[in-house]
Structure 1
């Protein structure tokens, strides 16, 4: 089973139009086998190489690591946006204006709640956030 890192690395490389060999050369590796190993999960890059991969592919490390759904935003940026949505929805609920909550804000809040739920260690009362 692949992890978000493996899937996202492969997806970002293909989106940029790089072969494994091209990407390896761009980050200073002598062989495409390292990239193949990262993509199939048999090896993990160092922090320095993860940063080089993210920079070369034009995505954030948070995106590669599965901490952010947006390749252009860090987890901190997503959380800031989610906080804004949470405050807006909280205020509308407090004012009794639930029907005024925009659909896109509800989606942001659901993503924020999913991130929060996933950050809490699993217990007997699990919640499936993949519905």
Structure 2
């Protein structure tokens, strides 16, 4: 699994969200979100931004460039 996949699942579970809740929250299909979390596809920059905003974490954290989820 990629860092992105690991971090997506980690923050989703920390917030007690289902995959459907995340997908609905950012306006994508549940299957699309599942593909990101399972590492089958990589989201676009716009989707990455939406995910970071939804989870209130930094983009660097989501993509594995930082271990600190705090937004600066």
TM-score (ref. length: structure 1): 0.53
> What are the within-5 Å matches in structure 2 for residues 1-131 of structure 1?
2-29=1-28, 31-73=29-71
| Off by >3 Å, runs of 4+ in structure 1 | none
**8 Å contact from structure 2 (residues 5, 39) kept in 1:** yes
The structure number with the bigger radius of gyration is 1
- Structure 1, unaligned runs of 5 or more: 75-131
1:68 aligns to what SS in structure 2? Answer: coil
Q: Distance between the aligned counterparts of 1:45 and 1:4, measured in 2?
A: 13
- Structure 2, unaligned runs of 5 or more: none
**8 Å contact from structure 2 (residues 56, 71) kept in 1:** no
Larger relative contact order (Cα-Cα within 8 Å, sequence gap ≥ 6): 2
1:5 aligns to what SS in structure 2? Answer: helix
1:72 aligns to what SS in structure 2? Answer: coil
Q: Distance between the aligned counterparts of 2:16 and 2:53, measured in 1?
A: 15
